[in-house]
Homo-oligomer: A and B are copies of this chain.
Amino acid sequence: MKRHARPHKYIVGVDLGGTKILAAVFDPRGRMLSREKKSTRPERGAAGVLDRVADCVNEALAAAAVPHTAVAAMGVGVPGLITGGGAVVRMAPNLHWQNVAAARQLSQRLHFPVTLINDVQAGTLAVQQFGAGRRLRTFVCMFIGTGIGGGLVLNGELYRGSAGAAGEIGHMVVVAEDGPRCGCGNYGCLEAVASRSAVVRRIVTAIEKGRSSVVTELCDGNLRRIRSRILAEAYREGDKLVRAVIHDTCEYLGIGAANLINVLNPEAVILGGGLIEALGSVMLPRITRAAMAHTISASAERVRILDSGLGDDAGILGGAIAARQLAA
């Protein structure tokens, strides 16, 4: 009788965001069998959030009819700085976490090996293996959502920097004079003028000053509920305020892309994240035009601006890639 050396071949990928948790189960051939979603509720603290991650994973395993004993490993994309070789979340501002040994705590709940990976690095690996970066050796990812994160693939390798902190493209200063304040405490960062949060802030400020917009209806008068989906709907309905703010945002994103092109001379800049998922078709041409206008000629000749092609799945796919490396 031949014994299987590794009978546990299923992989779980998790995208742990500040707003929602996504979990997916992949079979040994890499096909996604199930995908579940849960709100994060960061206010419940690390233990509470990790309970919710475990619940979400259990639901995904149940939906795929895969027993825990058949899982080789799980990888979790986390919006923060990961240390200890994928074991510890050193800090994750959106979750209000500091030094959480999340890999061990999830492993105790789920009884299979768990590794952590920065969410943007996870998304970048996913773009490289499954998305628009598949045939490229050198590209930059820009993920535009609540914040703006960046991932660099240089000469075929994910570039992490000297201390694993590379890719903070959202904190490039692009408005050095009188720029708005950023969440990081500085002024004029790209994230402060071009993230979904920056878009929402400008729209809310205008509405509060009396400007009319279909957004007010679309979110039932609760302006805190503005999400990318609502912005996309308002844009499609021709809302003037939303259009003006999105168009401005594309200018800034184009400048951010151009800065990265001028410094790194990549084959492509690849865009992802919630805002692009919702509004990519209108934003991409405008971002491209703005980027080309600010790129010096030698780099502009061949560079392309692309959609990641992965929609909301970049995070779970990247988590699965990290899990597969752990299991290998």
A: residues with CB less than 8 A from B are 81, 91, 137-138, 150, 152, 154-155, 159-169, 171-178, 184, 186, 193, 251-252, 255, 258-260, 262-267, 293-296, 298-299, 301-302
Kindly report which residue of chain B lies nearest to residue A166, judged by CB atoms. Answer: B265
In the bound complex, how far is the Cα of B301 from the Cα of A95, in angstroms? 22
Q: A154-B159, A301-B163 are in contact. Are A168 and B294 (CB under 8 A)?
A: no
What residues of B have a CB within 8 angstroms of the CB of A176 in the complex? 174-175, 193, 251-252, 255
Q: Are A175 and B172 in contact (CB under 8 A)?
A: no
A175 touches which of B138, B177, B251 (Cβ 8 Å):
B177
A174's closest neighbor in chain B, by CB? B176
Report chain B residues within 8 Å CB of A262: 168-169, 171-172
Q: What are 21 inter-chain pairs, A to B, with CB distance below 8 A?
A: A81-B298, A91-B298, A138-B161, A150-B263, A154-B159, A155-B159, A161-B264, A163-B302, A164-B298, A166-B299, A167-B265, A168-B299, A169-B262, A171-B294, A172-B263, A173-B259, A174-B176, A175-B175, A176-B252, A184-B296, A260-B263
Least Cβ–Cβ distance between A187 and chain B, in angstroms: 9
CA distance A260 to B295 in the complex (A): 17
Distance of A138 Cα from B162 Cα, bound (Å): 6
Query: A267 to chain B: which residues have CB within 8 Å?
Result: 162
Residues of B within 8 A of A167 (CB): 263, 265
The 8 Å CB contact of A163, one of B172, B173, B294, B298, is B298
What CA separation (Å) do A301 and B184 show in the bound complex?
A: 15
Question: How many copies are assembled?
Answer: 2
- Chain B's closest residue to A178 (CB) is B177
Closest to A265 in B: B161
Residue among B159, B161, B265 making CB contact with A162, cutoff 8 Å: B265
How far apart sit A193 and B173, CA to CA, in the bound complex (Å)? Answer: 14
The distance from the CB of A178 to the nearest CB of chain B, in whole angstroms, is 8
| Contact between B266 and A263, CB atoms less than 8 A apart | no
Judge whether B173 and A266 touch: CB under 8 Å. no
- Chain B residues whose C-beta falls within 8 Å of the C-beta of A301 in the assembled complex: 163
A40 vs B91: C-alpha distance when bound (angstroms): 54
Q: B296 and A163: CB pair below 8 A?
A: no
Take A294-B186, A296-B184, A299-B168 as given contacts and tell me if A163 and B265 are in contact as well, using a CB distance cutoff of 8 Å. Answer: yes
Distance in Å from the Cβ of A186 to the closest Cβ of chain B?
5
Q: B163–A299 contact, CB under 8 A? A: yes
